[in-house]
């Protein structure tokens, strides 16, 4: 029998939290190993236990979902983090995407659809509410949310292809120092300092 997906639920409303625990525990593929009322407690738990999946509210006291997700992803990028909210806010989704969260769904989702979206998330899909998916993914795929300029977009393609800064400079016929400055700016916009992490995130953005 396949090992169950170790899941934690994070929501400051007890009724919602308990309902989510019942729904997810009812699917034999998942094991709910914790339920918490704020993002700080969720992050502390992740530091102590193996967790595969975090289903978390956005707005909570002490620590909200986006900040908690940022910490969780920094601690262990392989953990899937799916945010729950009561409203469809494009800025909120962009903020979530920028910290490498795996998706965002509305709280009025049905039980069956929730499980389906969680499984898709585990398979690598970026989850979005249907009503905003097309317009937002268009922005993401073109990297508009990061305000990359034309030269940065050309350099991004070369970074994804595995070219070094020196090779990019030669290909684009610009100075090595100029390329280095552009690459540094790309790192800053993505909130990353490691080249491998940057390339991974860029591939995800281009994939949309």
pLDDT tens by residue, 122-137: 998 888 776 665 555 5
Contact 71, 24 (CB under 8 A): no
Asked whether the predicted pLDDT for residue 107 surpasses 90, the reply is: no
Rounded CA separation 98/121 (Å): 17
User: Quick one: average pLDDT of 142-170?
Assistant: 82
> Boundaries of CATH 1.10.10.10 in the chain?
144-207
> Boundaries of CATH 3.40.50.2300 in the chain?
5-141
Q: Walk across the sheet containing 5-10 and list its strands.
A: 30-36, 5-10, 53-57, 80-85, 103-106
- The CATH-assigned architecture of domain 144-207 is Orthogonal Bundle (1.10)
pLDDT tens by residue, 17-69: 999 999 999 999 999 999 999 999 999 999 999 999 999 999 899 999 989 99
Rounded CA separation 54/112 (Å): 18
**Residue 195 corresponds to which tokens in the numbers above?**
């080249």
User: Quick one: average pLDDT of 88-103?
Assistant: 71
Domain 5-141 has CATH 3.10.290.10: no
Check residue 152 and give its pLDDT.
86
**pTM for the whole thing?**
0.65
Check residue 197 and give its pLDDT.
86
């Amino acid at each position: 029998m396949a090992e169950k997906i170790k899941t934690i639920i994070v929501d400051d409303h007890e009724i919602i939290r308990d309902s989510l625990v019942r729904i997810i525990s009812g699917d034999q593929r998942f094991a709910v190993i914790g339920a918490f009322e704020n993002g700080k407690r969720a992050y502390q738990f992740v530091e102590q236990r193996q967790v595969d999946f975090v289903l978390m509210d956005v707005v909570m006291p002490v620590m909200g979902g986006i900040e908690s997700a940022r910490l969780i992803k920094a601690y262990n990028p392989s953990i899937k983090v799916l945010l729950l909210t009561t409203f469809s806010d494009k800025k909120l989704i962009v903020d979530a995407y920028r910290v490498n969260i795996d998706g965002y769904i509305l709280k009025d989702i049905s039980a069956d659809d929730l499980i389906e979206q969680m499984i898709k998330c585990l398979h690598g899909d970026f989850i979005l509410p249907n009503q905003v998916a097309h317009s937002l993914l268009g922005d993401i795929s073109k990297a508009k949310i990061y305000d990359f300029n034309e030269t940065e977009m050309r350099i991004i393609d070369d970074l994804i292809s595995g070219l070094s800064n020196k090779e990019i400079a030669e290909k684009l016929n610009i100075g090595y120092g100029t390329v280095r400055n552009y690459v540094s700016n790309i790192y800053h916009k993505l909130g990353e300092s490691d080249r491998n992490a940057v390339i991974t995130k860029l591939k995800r953005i281009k994939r949309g």
